[in-house]
Structure 1
Amino acid sequence: MKKIVFLAVLFTCVLWSQDKKEVVKPIPEPKSFVTSHQITAGGKLIKYKAIAGETYLKNAKGEATAAMWSVSYIKEGADSRRPVTFVFNGGPGSASVWLHMGLFGPKLVKVDSDAKQDDGAAPFAVVANSKSLMDLTDLVFIDPVGTGYSQVIGKGKEKDFWGLNEDAASVAQFIRLWITQYKRWNAPKYMAGESFGTTRAAAVTQALEGSGQNVAMNGLILISQALDYDGSTSIPNNITSYLTYLPSMAATAWYHKKAGQGKSLEAFVQESRDFTYNEYAPALYKGALLTTSERETLAQKLAYFTGLDKAYIHRSDLRVLMPRFQKKLLEDQGMAIGRLDGRFMGDEIDDVADRPTLGDPSSYQIGAAYTAALNQYLLHDLKVDMDRPYLTSNGQIGQKWRWRTRPDGSYWEPTPVNVSDRLGETMRRNTQMKVLVASGYYDLITPFFDAEYTFNRNGIVKERVSMTYYEGGHMMYTHEPDFIKLADDIRMFLEK
C-alpha cells in the first residue's frame, strides 16, 4: 500500500513539474507610440515624427532577452544619409532624462539657472528648445536595460546587461538594430553621453567595431567625461585624485568668494593648474620626505587656492578629500556645497559631519522637476501608455554592477576602471572620428582637470579632440549661459 501511495505522489509531482515547465509567459509584441510634431531649429521649421517604444534585444539563439526603450526624433522626408545622434546618460542606473529634458530634446524643463533656489514642487516650467539641433541631426534617446521603461524579458537575466562590457554590448546591439530598421548604415553617426555615459560611449564605440558588423562613429560628444576613474575617485591614498580635484576646488572657492578674489576665473584656474603640475605633484610624491618648511609653504598655498583654513590643511596632511571640502568650504555659513555642481548649497542638520549627510543638493534640488517634466511629456506629448513606471534612476543597478573589464578567469584585473585606452585605440583605427569634451569648472565629481589629464595620455589623438569649458557643473546646461554655449559648441562640432 505504501508503495502505491508513493508512486501516486511521485506521478503527481512529475505532472506538476511538467506543467510548471510548460507554463511559459508569452512575450507580447514590442510597444510603439508614434506622433507628429514640428520645431524651429537653426532658423528652419522642421517637421518630425517622435517614435517612443521598445526594441527587443536577442541572444545568439534568436530569443528575446530585453526590451530596450528609446525615443527617436526623425525628420519627415529624411533620406538615408541624414545624420543621427544616439544619446544616453550615465549612472550606471540613470535613464536619458537629463540630456533629454535638459539639452537635446524638443522640450526642456527649466530650473534656477543660478543654483540659488530648490526646484520646489509642481508645476515646473517646460519650454520649447530654442537651441534644438533637429535641423542637423535626428536624435535617439536610449534608456539602458533597467532604466526608463527598459527591462529584462524572456531568456534575459540582469547579469547579461548590468556590467561595463555587458552594457556596451547591449547598446551596440540596439544601435545596429536601429540603423538597420531606419536604413541609416551609410549616414553620419554620433554618440552623446554624460558622466558614466562617456564611459559607455568609449566602450560602445569599441564594441561596434566587432561582431561581424563594423559600425564606425563620426564623432563622440563627451559631457563631463569619466574615462579614467583614477582621476575622479576621491579616496585616501589615491594621489592622482588630489591633483585632479585641486583646480576644481580652486574654481569653486573662487565662485563662493573664498579664494582668488580680484582675479578672473580663468586666470585663477590657470594659476592652480601651474601649482598642481609644478609644486603639488612633486610634494605629494615626496610625502614624509618633505621638510617642515616645505610643508608650511604648501599649506599656505593650498589655503590660498581652496579657501580652507591652513591649520585644517595641516591636519589633513596636505590632502583634502572632496566630501570634506564640500562641508568645510562654507562651514561658517552652515552650508554644504554640491558634488555634481559646487554652485549649489544645502542647509544640513549635522553641521559638524565630515561629509554631506542629506545627499547632493545639486541633485535633489533639480530631480523632481526633471522627473515630473519627463513623465508629463511622455504622457501628454508623445501619447505613451505603458503598464509600468518610468524609472529615471535605478539604484539596484549600481549595487549589482559588474565593473570588471577583463574576462572571468583572467589572472589580473586592472583597477580602477579605465576605458580611455579603448578610445585611443578606436581613434587610431577610425581616423575620421572626432571628439568633443565638455567640462564644467564647478564639477566636483568628474573634474575638468581630470579631463585634461586623461586626454593628454592613453594614446588619444589630441588633434581630433576639442576641449570646451563652462561656468557650471556636471550638468552645466542647467546654467542658462552654459546651455546656450554648449548647444552652440555642439552645433559647431556637428557642422564641421
Structure 2
Amino acid sequence: MRKLPLVIALTALLLGNAAAADKKDKPAQDETKPDAALIHPQASDSEGSVSVEGRRIAYKAVAGTIVLHGKNEKENDPTVSMFYVAYFKKGADSAKRPITFVYNGGPGSATVWLHMGAFGPRRVVTRDDSHTPAAPYQVVNNDYSLLDASDLVFIDAPGAGFSRLIANDTDASKRDEQLKDRRKEIYSVDGDGHAFAQFITQFLSRYGRWNSPKYLFGESYGTTRSAVLANDLENDDSVDLNGVILLSQILNFDTSIDGPDQNPGVDLPYELALPTFAATAYYHHKLPQTPAELEPFLQEVEQFALGDYAEALMAGSRLDDARKQAVAQKLHQYTGLPVDYLLKANLRVTGGMFEHELLGDSGDTTGRLDSRFSGPSLDPLSKEAEYDPQSSAISSAYIAAFNDYVRKDLKYGQNQTYHEFAPDATDWDFKHNGHDGAVNVMPDLAKAMKTNPDLKVLLNGGYYDLATPFFAADYEMHHLPVQPALMNNISYEWYPSGHMVYAHEASLKLLHDNVSRFIEQTDNVKQ
C-alpha cells in the first residue's frame, strides 16, 4: 500500500511543569550535542500581530519543547522532546479563551502544512492547481488564521520537525537499543496517541489552561490520531473536550482506495472513491457529457456507487457479461475512463490506477492529495501513478517558508534540522488495542462521544482528495457505533479542493469560517 496522506497540521506536545520555566531563555539544543541536551525543555518567546478578515489580533508566540517521560517504573525516564509553536492572544481571559491543538498526519509528519497553509499567522502562497515556481516564496499575513477564534498550539509528531526521540544512556550501544525501543513504542497507533495525550496534559499545566475550552484539530492520519487521542484524554486523563475537528478523515483503513487490490473480496473502497473519480474527471473535462453543476452530479454518482455498482461488485464472478458491460458503460460516463480499460480492470480501479490513466493520453498523472493537480508521468507505461504531482508542486514552498520563519520570526531552531517526516516512521506499527489487521479507530471516537455526550465533531473534506476520499469519510461517520441522538453532534462541510483544503484560497476562507463558527457555538462561554 502506498504511503498514507501527508495529512496536514498537528497539535503540539507538552511539558507542563513550572520547573521548566527556568530553562525558557536558554537556546535550543544543538543536534551535534549528546541527547542529554534534549531532556531540558526549551522555549523562545516572541510577539506579533495578524489581521484576520480585517480584524487585528496581537499575540504572544512560544516556540519550544516539552519533554515526555516513560510510565510506571520508567516514569523518570525521558522519552521524547516534543516541539510545538503556541500562539496566545494578548489580553484574553485564558479561562474563557478556547485553545486548539493542531497536528498533521503522515503518520510521522511535521505540522508545517497546517501551520504555514491553514491557521498560523503567516501563510505561504502557492499556486492553486499547478507547480509553484522555486524560491523566493511569498509569505503573507494570513487573513484566515484561526487566532480570531482560538489560541493555537501546532505540534510536531515525535521524530518530526524539531521533535526528537531521546536516548540518554552514556553507553553508545545501549543508546542505540534505547532508540530502537523508543521507536517501537512510540511509532505506533497507540504509542503516538498516548504521547500526544501526555503532551496536552502537560501543556495545560504549564500554561494554566485546564479550564479553557479545548479542541483537537487533526488532518489525514491526524484524524486517526484524534479518535485515539480523544478517547485517551476523555477516559484516561479526565479531560472533556468541547470539540474534535477532522480534516480529510480516515478512521477505518479498510475504506482506503490505496491498494485495495491487495485485499480482494473487500470492494467498499472502489464504491466510496467513485465520487472523487467523478469529481476529478469533471474538473479535467474528461467526462463524455459535462454536468451543469458538480454537487448534484456527485449525488447521482453516490447513489449509483452504493446501488447498482455495489451490487455488481458483490456478485463477483457471478456477474453476467451483459450486466458487466452495462456497469462499465456507466462507469465510463462517471469517470471518463475507457470502457475496455474498465472491463480489463474487472470494474475495480485503484487510486493509483485512476491517477495514472485519467490523463494518460497526454502523458500526465493527476495528483493524489489534490487531483486538480497534474504532472508528467514518470513512466507512461506503468500501471499506477509513481509520484504525487500535488505534493511535488507545493512541498518545497512550505518547507522553505517554515525554515525561514521559525528562525527569523520565532527565534528557534538554529543549528538544528527540521524533519518533514520522522526518520524510520515507515516502520509504523498499525496494531491497535492489540489487534492486527486494518486499523479502525471508529470505536475510539464513538467511546469518546458516549462518555462525553456533549462532545461535538466537525468533519471537513475536499471533493478532489484521492488520499482520503470525502465519500469514504461520510460513510465512516454514518456508520459510527453511537446512539442516533449522538449523530446530531456531528456536522459536515465539503469543499471544492483536495486533501489540503486550505491550498485552495477560497476553500481556506470557508474552512476558517466554518471552524470559527463551530468553536463559537461549542465553547460553552457565557456571552
TM-score using structure 2 length = 0.85
State which of 46, 56, 75 in structure 1 corresponds to 2:89: 75
State which of 385, 389, 395 in structure 2 corresponds to 1:356: 385
Query: What CA distance in whole angstroms lies between the structure 1 residues aligned with 2:319 and 2:350?
Result: 20
Tell me whether 1:224 sits opposite 2:248 in the alignment.
Answer: yes
Which residue in 2 is equivalent to 1:272? 301
Tell me whether 1:152 sits opposite 2:152 in the alignment.
Answer: no
Tell me whether 1:286 sits opposite 2:300 in the alignment.
Answer: no
Query: What CA distance in whole angstroms lies between the structure 2 residues aligned with 1:243 and 1:27?
Result: 48
1:1-24 C-alpha deviation (Å, 9 max, x unpaired): xxxxxxxxxxxxxxxxxxxxxx99
Query: What CA distance in whole angstroms lies between the structure 2 residues aligned with 1:392 and 1:283?
Result: 42
Query: What CA distance in whole angstroms lies between the structure 2 residues aligned with 1:326 and 1:445?
Result: 11
1:133 positional shift: 2.2
State which of 423, 432, 437 in structure 1 corresponds to 2:459: 437
State which of 368, 390, 394 in structure 1 corresponds to 2:422: 394
Aligned partners of 1:42 and 1:135 also within 8 Å:
no
- Higher gyration radius (CA): 1
Query: What CA distance in whole angstroms lies between the structure 2 residues aligned with 1:332 and 1:28?
Result: 56
Which residue in 1 is equivalent to 2:3? none
Query: What CA distance in whole angstroms lies between the structure 1 residues aligned with 2:39 and 2:227?
Result: 33
State which of 479, 488, 493 in structure 2 corresponds to 1:468: 493
Which residue in 1 is equivalent to 2:108? 93
Counterpart residue identity of residue 417, structure 2: P
Change (3 A) 1:148 1:405: same
Tell me whether 1:34 sits opposite 2:55 in the alignment.
Answer: no
Aligned-partner SS, 1:208: helix
Aligned-partner SS, 2:465: coil
Which residue in 2 is equivalent to 1:19? none
Aligned-partner SS, 2:146: coil
State which of 118, 122, 130 in structure 1 corresponds to 2:135: 122
State which of 219, 226, 234 in structure 2 corresponds to 1:209: 234
Identical pairs, percent: 40
1:294 positional shift: 0.8
Larger mean CA deviation between 232-241 and 30-39 belongs to 232-241
Query: What CA distance in whole angstroms lies between the structure 1 residues aligned with 2:341 and 2:319?
Result: 18
Which residue in 2 is equivalent to 1:185? 210
Aligned partners of 1:242 and 1:320 also within 8 Å:
yes
1:209 positional shift: 2.4
Query: What CA distance in whole angstroms lies between the structure 1 residues aligned with 2:35 and 2:57?
Result: 46
Which residue in 1 is equivalent to 2:125? 110
Counterpart residue identity of residue 126, structure 2: V
1:297-344 C-alpha deviation (Å, 9 max, x unpaired): 111101111101101111111111211111111111111101111111
| Runs of 5+ unmatched residues, structure 1 | 1-22, 408-412
Query: What CA distance in whole angstroms lies between the structure 1 residues aligned with 2:219 and 2:101?
Result: 12
Change (3 A) 1:25 1:463: closer
Counterpart residue identity of residue 79, structure 1: D
Aligned partners of 2:111 and 2:155 also within 8 Å:
yes
1:213-272 C-alpha deviation (Å, 9 max, x unpaired): 311111111000011111114321231111111111011111111115033111110110
Query: What CA distance in whole angstroms lies between the structure 2 residues aligned with 1:257 and 1:208?
Result: 46
Give the 4+ runs in structure 1 shifted more than 6 A.
none
Query: What CA distance in whole angstroms lies between the structure 2 residues aligned with 1:138 and 1:25?
Result: 31
Aligned partners of 1:49 and 1:74 also within 8 Å:
yes
Query: What CA distance in whole angstroms lies between the structure 2 residues aligned with 1:343 and 1:268?
Result: 17
1:414 positional shift: 5.0
Which residue in 1 is equivalent to 2:188? 163
| Runs of 5+ unmatched residues, structure 2 | 1-33, 169-177, 522-527
Larger mean CA deviation between 96-105 and 126-135 belongs to 126-135
Query: C-alpha root-mean-square deviation of aligned residues, in Å?
Result: 1.6
1:26 positional shift: 6.2
1:484 positional shift: 1.1
Larger mean CA deviation between 42-51 and 421-430 belongs to 42-51
